[in-house]
Amino acid sequence: MQKHVKALGLSMALAVPQMATSADLEVTHWWTSGGEAAAVKEFAKAFNATGNNWVDGAIAGSGGTARPIIISRILGGDPMAATQLNHGRQAEELIEAGLMTDLTELAEKEGWKDIVNPSSLLDSCTFEGRIYCVPVNIHSGQWIWLSHGAFETAGLDVPADWNEFVAAAPKLEEAGILPLAMGQQGWQQNLAFGAITIGVAGIDAWRKVSVERDASAAAGPEYKAVFEAVAAARELARESNVQDWNQATNLVITNKAGGQIMGDWAQGEFQVAGQVAGKDYTCLPGLGINEILDTGGDAFYFPVVKDEETKKAQLELASLLISPEVQVAFNLKKGSLPVRGDIDLSSANDCMQKGLKILADGNVLPSGDQNLSPDTQTQIEDLMAEFWSSTMSAADAQEAYVAIIADSE
Amino acid sequence: MNQTNHSKRPPQLFKNLSAKIASIPMILTTMVVFVGGTTWTVVHSFTNSKLLPKLNFVGLDQYERLWSSRRWLISIENLAVFGFFSLILMMVIGFFLATLLDRKVRGENIFRTIFLYPFALSFIVTGLAWQWILNPDLGLQQVMHDLGWTSFEFNPLNSGDTVIYGLLIAAMWQGTGLIMVIMLAGLRGIDDDIWKAARVDGIGTVKTYIKIIIPMMRPVFVTALVIVASGIIKLYDLVVALTNGGPGLSSEVPAKYVINYMFRAQNLGQGFAASTMMLVTVAIILIPWAYLEFGGKDNG
């Protein structure tokens, strides 16, 4: 198997010079934090090595800011050559309108179906049997990141799960350390809520509420425990006054905070800061209680362009993004998991190994985008934004949550 | 001129014909874009449109949801507080600065430039700049601490109770200069003879301003009021740049609710209902005022 992959890589390296066309490709994305930028440079480096030119079109702000800009450019007839989007249903209408390049031929030639793991990633790129995007990584949001330095200062062992973390919090506070770092933005508070739900309520209750949208389950005792845990977490994060997620991660890196609940993209920040997993920081998937991850991620789409040279270069880039070498280089920097199961990631750190193992065991759940409509998600996010920043009681929040689930379509 | 053809006046329609033809494009734009667009929005606010507008009527459902949404109620309350204070403070400070400049101070040009300069910045830049200035670890508070005043605490953006005043500070810094310049233009339009007459009658400066000048500047005040008021209703980009609605929901505003529900939540019906409510609010305030101001007899 390993040999086969190497041969594939070699043949591609040989094939590249022949089809080199040297086109300028503008690629838009919203990877702008330190770790993200370092990762995207790996793409650019590999692409420039083929004789083409990667024109970086980074859009500052989160996906929520960048996505409307990207979509309006495509709709307005000024498409970029390639763009990042989260796969799922965001690009569906653009594909329907015939604005995205069909990659099926390339995908069949390179056998993407057999190499992409989990296969749901490629399914998200498929529309009416045709493939329109290249998945590049897998991200999950159910992680807590713990600072060894902070726990050392407080004279404590690094907790092994969420419950130990909560128990250790008073000692942290005594030592003048903020227990939980939390960026004051709705999506981060919502992400923490999601992670705590998986950890505290467990997969069955979660599935009943999020997939089957069973309001009575949302009103049940499992979720009561969830809301109480979130209320406790809120008190741990009371003094956290940063906004962006990477500022909150920075509090953990600099030992000013004990931990942060954040997706695995936080790992890129630890890496940029030169920290070593297992030595300077610890990560616990599923908050250390239920080791389950969701499998969202990023994918690249290629809007239809007129220029033939650019078209050729687009396909080159598509094949490059999923090639083993680039997958390894990119995901090591980004802290995300690669989309192919057939590559050697022994160089990956402690945290990524944990993630890879969970992935290999198949302990995955569909990400929020696939279950709840954006409308319902926004309502939950609003609720969480209010809950985390006020003194709203856990019971009131649960009641509001039940109403949102009952109303969802 | 009317006397010669009073028996057979040409139809009113053809009076000033060329002027009327010239205004047809604007009339069409108003009818199609403003009236048409507004009607379309209001009609669709009674539907359950999601990502695409559909005419599937659900009665008042969207409005019921809107008025039971905590976020909307917070938004309305914030707008009221922000509107009340910024209206009063901007008019008062703007007028006060203008009178100071009007006293023919040395270096008037420099002061005018300084006060007006922030207006050249967009709300996004203003928001970012003030986000840094009001950041306790980076801005004003830290500077004071570094200077030795360690008990100094000024951190409005991190508490839900005070964040709206942080917004107010940034908005005032940006907009007061414009109001000042408008007021100054009004003051300069006052005939010098008025001042001379007042002086002859022995009326003091302050009293002259309050009793004579301000009443004469009524049209200028109305202009300034309209500019400030429309800025308040539109308040959106400053919030996005400065706080993005946070902490929690405590600095949300109606315009942000509309955008958020239309595009992020992909629930057009809900967004339309919210924007219709904004229109109704404006109409409730504006119609009686416009009637008093422009309706009835021309009171010159």
**CB A389 to CB B265 under 8 A?**
no
Pair A404, A190: CB distance under 8 Å:
no
**CB B267 to CB A385 under 8 A?**
no
Question: Taking residues B99-111, what's their average pLDDT?
Answer: 85
Tell me if chain B has a CB within 8 Å of the CB of A378.
yes
Question: The domain spanning residue A308 has which CATH number?
Answer: 3.40.190.10
- Other C-beta atoms closer than 10 Å to the C-beta of A200 total 23
**CB A374 to CB B158 under 8 A?**
no
Residue A248 lies in a domain: yes
| Beta pairing partners, A116 | A340
For chain B, give the percent of residues with pLDDT over 70: 94
Domain positions in chain B are 60-294
Separation between Cα atoms, residue A72 and residue A92, nearest integer Å: 14
Residue A362 lies in a domain: no
Of the candidates A243, A379, A390, the beta carbon closest to that of B248 is on A390
Q: Which residue of A has its CA nearest to B260?
A: A378
Q: Which residue of B has its CA nearest to A375?
A: B265
**CB A378 to CB B261 under 8 A?**
yes
Residues of chain A contacting residue B246, judged by C-beta atoms under 8 Å apart: 184-186, 243, 385, 389
For chains A and B, count residue pairs whose Cβ atoms are closer than 8 Å. 60
Question: Taking residues B215-225, what's their average pLDDT?
Answer: 88
Within this chain, do residues A201 and A239 fall inside the same structural domain, yes or no? yes
Within this chain, do residues A51 and A131 fall inside the same structural domain, yes or no? yes
Within this chain, do residues A22 and A64 fall inside the same structural domain, yes or no? yes
Separation between Cα atoms, residue B240 and residue A64, nearest integer Å: 12
pLDDT at A370: 61
Longest Cα pair distance anywhere in chain A, in angstroms?
Answer: 66
Of the candidates B158, B249, B267, the beta carbon closest to that of A385 is on B249
Tell me if chain B has a CB within 8 Å of the CB of A185.
yes
Residues of chain A contacting residue B78, judged by C-beta atoms under 8 Å apart: none
Tell me if chain B has a CB within 8 Å of the CB of A388.
yes
Separation between Cα atoms, residue A350 and residue A263, nearest integer Å: 16
State yes or no: cis peptide before A118, omega within 30 of 0: yes
Name the CATH superfamily for B60-294: MetI-like (1.10.3720.10)
Separation between Cα atoms, residue A102 and residue A122, nearest integer Å: 13
Which residues in chain B (87-106) have CB-CB distances under 8 A to chain A?
none
pLDDT at A72: 80
Separation between Cα atoms, residue A338 and residue A150, nearest integer Å: 31
With a cut of 70, say whether residue B10 has pLDDT above it. no
Within this chain, do residues A123 and A162 fall inside the same structural domain, yes or no? no
CA distance B58 to chain A (A): 14
Within this chain, do residues A50 and A96 fall inside the same structural domain, yes or no? yes
| Beta pairing partners, A25 | A54
Task: Give the model confidence (pLDDT) of B69-78 as tens digits.
Answer: 889 999 999 9
Separation between Cα atoms, residue A373 and residue A379, nearest integer Å: 10
pLDDT at A144: 93
Which sign, positive or negative, has the C-alpha torsion A69, A73, A74, A80?
A: negative
The bridge status of strand A364-365 relative to strand A82-86 is unpaired
Which residues in chain A (124-183) have CB-CB distances under 8 A to chain B?
none
**CB A385 to CB B246 under 8 A?**
yes
A257-261 sheet: strands from edge to edge: A178-181, A257-261, A143-147, A281-285
Separation between Cα atoms, residue A134 and residue A138, nearest integer Å: 12
Tell me if chain B has a CB within 8 Å of the CB of A373.
yes
Within this chain, do residues A108 and A201 fall inside the same structural domain, yes or no? no
Pair A93, A65: CB distance under 8 Å:
no
Q: What is the DSSP code string of B20-62?
A: HHHHHHHHHHIIIIIIIHHHHHHHHTTB---SS----B-TTHH
**CB A185 to CB B50 under 8 A?**
no
Tell me if chain A has a CB within 8 Å of the CB of B128.
no
**CB A373 to CB B160 under 8 A?**
no
Tell me if chain B has a CB within 8 Å of the CB of A385.
yes
pLDDT band at B226 (very low <50, low <70, confident <90, very high): confident
Q: Which token pair is B143?
A: 């500077």
Residue A70 lies in a domain: yes
Within this chain, do residues A59 and A159 fall inside the same structural domain, yes or no? no
Residues of chain A contacting residue B264, judged by C-beta atoms under 8 Å apart: 64, 374, 378
Q: Which residue of A has its CA nearest to B267?
A: A375
Least confident of A172-176, A308-312, B104-108, B273-277: B104-108
With a cut of 50, say whether residue B177 has pLDDT above it. yes
Within this chain, do residues A35 and A116 fall inside the same structural domain, yes or no? yes
Within this chain, do residues A175 and A271 fall inside the same structural domain, yes or no? yes
Q: What is the DSSP code string of B75-113?
A: HHHHHHHHHHHHHHHHHHHHHHHHHHHHTT-TTHHHHHH
pLDDT at B296: 56
Pair B90, B179: CB distance under 8 Å:
yes
For chain B, give the percent of residues with pLDDT over 90: 32
Mutate to test the interface with A, among B54, B71, B159 (most CBs of A within 10 A): B71
* Residue where the block lists tokens 């408008």: B182
Question: Taking residues B155-172, what's their average pLDDT?
Answer: 88
**CB A184 to CB B247 under 8 A?**
yes
What's the full length of chain B, in residues?
300
Question: Mean pLDDT of all residues in chain B?
Answer: 86
Within this chain, do residues A152 and A280 fall inside the same structural domain, yes or no? yes
Separation between Cα atoms, residue A272 and residue A274, nearest integer Å: 5
DSSP letter (8 states) at residue A157: P
Separation between Cα atoms, residue A100 and residue A81, nearest integer Å: 10
Residue type, B296: G
> What backbone torsions phi and psi does residue A101 show, to the nearest 5 degrees?
-70, 135
pLDDT at A8: 46
Pair B207, B92: CB distance under 8 Å:
no
Within this chain, do residues A123 and A154 fall inside the same structural domain, yes or no? no
**CB B267 to CB A184 under 8 A?**
no
CA distance A132 to chain B (A): 22
Residues of chain B contacting residue A241, judged by C-beta atoms under 8 Å apart: 136, 158
Residue A361 lies in a domain: no
**CB B247 to CB A389 under 8 A?**
yes
Within this chain, do residues A192 and A286 fall inside the same structural domain, yes or no? yes
Tally of domains in chain A: 2
The bridge status of strand A24-29 relative to strand A143-147 is unpaired
Residues 6+ apart with CB under 8 A from B20: none
Domain that holds residue A216: 143-293+371-407
Separation between Cα atoms, residue A284 and residue B291, nearest integer Å: 66
**CB B264 to CB A64 under 8 A?**
yes
Pair B130, B169: CB distance under 8 Å:
yes
Residues of chain B contacting residue A385, judged by C-beta atoms under 8 Å apart: 245-246, 248-249
Residues of chain A contacting residue B260, judged by C-beta atoms under 8 Å apart: 378
Residue A355 lies in a domain: no
Parts of chain A with a pLDDT under 50: 1-3, 5-20
With a cut of 90, say whether residue B83 has pLDDT above it. yes
Tell which wins on pLDDT, B170 or A345: B170
Of the candidates A184, A373, A375, the beta carbon closest to that of B246 is on A184
Mutate to test the interface with B, among A375, A381, A392, A408 (most CBs of B within 10 A): A375
